[in-house]
Structure 1
């Protein structure tokens, strides 16, 4: 995760897996987030689904999530405004743990 000035947010790397049977986000050994999305990688639908998923799981507005590179690639760099890297990791991993228990 790249730290920016607090007002700018945090940049994370996300590898997108479109047309998945379920929607979830996990983290690999290299620290790259892996987002499985049901949306296809067609006409920006997977990008929209990624922004929606992250905003929902992080409890922030969609406008606070921005794909800054990789719009047409599976590996994307995503800027998240208003949260630091530790808080992002905490929210995404705690959400995953809650889903496993539920």
Structure 2
């Protein structure tokens, strides 16, 4: 292979990996992780959510971004993480409670 072909393959690999990243939707960047004490004092539950990320290089981050996006889509501004799991073969998951908090 010539140098140009190797560079082209490298760029295509990077682009395909970047395409697997889950970005934050509008409003999701404002969602705050809360403690159990904050949850009890300041927040109202909007329900329990669950997210998974099976593919990609950064499974835990992508699973959390999906959870933050879901909280924002429900009108929430807080998230209480109930559990998170990581298995490099199976992927990552987040189970959390979506919250509307008085911050």
TM-score by length of 1: 0.33
TM-score by length of 2: 0.33
1 or 2, which has the higher helix percentage? 2
1 or 2, which has the higher strand percentage? 2
